[in-house]
Amino acid sequence: MAGEWRASTWGEEISLEYGKALRDYNTEQGEYRVFGSNGPIGWTAKALAPGPGVILGRKGAYRGIEFSREPFFVIDTAYYVVPKGEFDMRWLYYAIKHHKLGEIDDGSPIPSTTRSAVYVRDFDVPPLAEQKAIAAVLGALDEKIELNRRMNATLEAMARALFQSWFIDFDPVRANMDRNQPAPAASRRPLPQGEGRGEGRFALDPATAALFPEHLEDSPLGHIPKGWEVKTADEVSTVGIGRTPPRMEHHWFSENQADVPWMSIRDLGSAGVFISHTAEFLTAEAVEKFRVKRIPDNTVVLSFKLTMGRVAITDGEMLSNEAIAHFRLNPETTFGSAFLYCYLKGFGYDQLGSTSSIATAINSDMVRGMRVLVPPKGIAEAFERMVNPLFTQMKNIQKQSRTLATLRDTLLPKLLSGELRVAEAAA
């Protein structure tokens, strides 16, 4: 331990201030971010605390720790941190994560973190210059991870916009319909490129445009292009459901990455388009004994219990619990994983159940019976050719982010304990 660091307690260095109740925040947009116990929950027009700042969850089974560069609002299920001296706020964020203040539990029926339980905890405080240096190293990694997240969000939006145009709005079909509909005599003239209905969003080369029909027809999904089909999920794929070994028999579960990754709904929630990382693993013996279905690489998965509609594509062979379905596409199915991913991301899951609690009303038979729009092979292949480079790029970016996160998680405890100095970390 470096001699410059000083021993202290959290109560001597910070105050945990209660958030305030807020009813009218917007979940989509606003000037200031609103935080709850589990993290960001929306936006509002008025800030409660200045930025940069740190938010610590106060109530609930999961109490997150968040950092905000800008002014922010905290609701009454969380605290915001007010330092009593001069601190680098980003260093404080990493210190609070390192000391796991969000995991302190007072033992009450509703899990919660109390100020009295936090304030008595010891920790070591480096000089301000060292705080800033540590925050700069760890912050650079987090900023690159966040940049990667935004890049992938843009790439996914591009792929889903093309899917929307071709397979929801049927823009190429409508363009063909408009092109072949006679105009009034006084206004007959050739349409410039892109002026036909639907062509303004994604102009197609003539060969691809010719793949689309010129008419729509009725179907169980409403109007669809003539000649396209509507099938069920179990007609285009083998739908598999995961399984959980008995939880009380702890030896079936593992955190050893040499075992088989076993995904949960929470894992899906923290994944991007591709899922490769899970918090838990199952031993090979558990997979064999309980006949847990193995999910191949590049397979679309969907949560259908408790939290409905989380979708991802596997990056490597995996397993799942019984709340997650996977779709092994049949050889004769015209489309691939990119198409199915986009389709399920935009699927109207409320049509599957008739109760007010859709998340608990869906069962595996309903998942197998989900209606899927099936375009002809040529159109499906044209879509896959256009979006596969986007999905490949997203997969590579996610892998880079996972590497960066591993490096950050390795450095964080060493830097925050003083075991490793910043100059050594840079080297």
Backbone φ and ψ for 275, nearest 5 degrees, come out as -120, 125
Mean pLDDT of the chain: 89
For residues 141 and 110, which has the higher predicted lDDT (pLDDT)? 141
14-23, 182-191, 212-221, 338-347: the lowest-pLDDT one? 182-191
Same domain, 370 and 238: yes
pLDDT at residue 427 in the model: 64
Indicate whether 319 belongs to any domain.
yes
pLDDT at residue 320 in the model: 96
Residue 268 makes CB contacts below 8 A (sequence gap 6+) with 275, 301, 303, 310, 311, 312, 324
Indicate whether 154 belongs to any domain.
no
Question: pLDDT-derived band of residue 190, with 50, 70 and 90 as boundaries?
Answer: very low
Indicate whether 396 belongs to any domain.
no
Indicate whether 105 belongs to any domain.
yes
Final residue of a structural domain among 349, 374, 399: 374
In the Cβ-directed half-sphere of 67, how many Cα atoms lie within 13 Å? 18
Give kind and range of the element (H or E) at residue 137. Answer: helix 128-163
Read off the tokens for 24: 């009218």
As for how many domains the chain has, the answer is 2
Are the C-beta atoms of 63 and 113 separated by less than 8 Å? yes
Tell me the whole-structure pTM to 2 decimals: 0.85
pLDDT reading at 340 higher than 70? yes
Final residue of a structural domain among 82, 100, 125: 125
Indicate whether 28 belongs to any domain.
yes
Indicate whether 58 belongs to any domain.
yes
| Secondary structure tally for the chain: helices H, strands E | 14, 22
Domain of 293, CATH number, reads 3.90.220.20
CA distance 118 to 11: 7
Give kind and range of the element (H or E) at residue 67. Answer: strand 65-68
pLDDT reading at 166 higher than 90? yes
Tell me which residue range forms the domain holding 289.
229-374
pLDDT tens figures, 287-316: 999 999 999 999 999 999 888 899 999 999
Which of 174-178, 363-367, 380-384 reaches the highest mean pLDDT?
A: 380-384
104-118, 219-233, 263-277, 381-395: the lowest-pLDDT one? 104-118
* Cβ atoms within 10 Å, residue 389: 11
pLDDT at residue 349 in the model: 86
Same domain, 356 and 235: yes
Question: pLDDT-derived band of residue 179, with 50, 70 and 90 as boundaries?
Answer: confident
Final residue of a structural domain among 69, 90, 125: 125
pLDDT at residue 426 in the model: 66
pLDDT reading at 197 higher than 60? no
Question: pLDDT-derived band of residue 192, with 50, 70 and 90 as boundaries?
Answer: very low
| Whole-number percent of the chain with pLDDT over 70 | 91
Indicate whether 211 belongs to any domain.
no
Residue 291 makes CB contacts below 8 A (sequence gap 6+) with 243
Same domain, 114 and 241: no
pLDDT reading at 358 higher than 60? no
Indicate whether 101 belongs to any domain.
yes
CA distance 411 to 176: 58
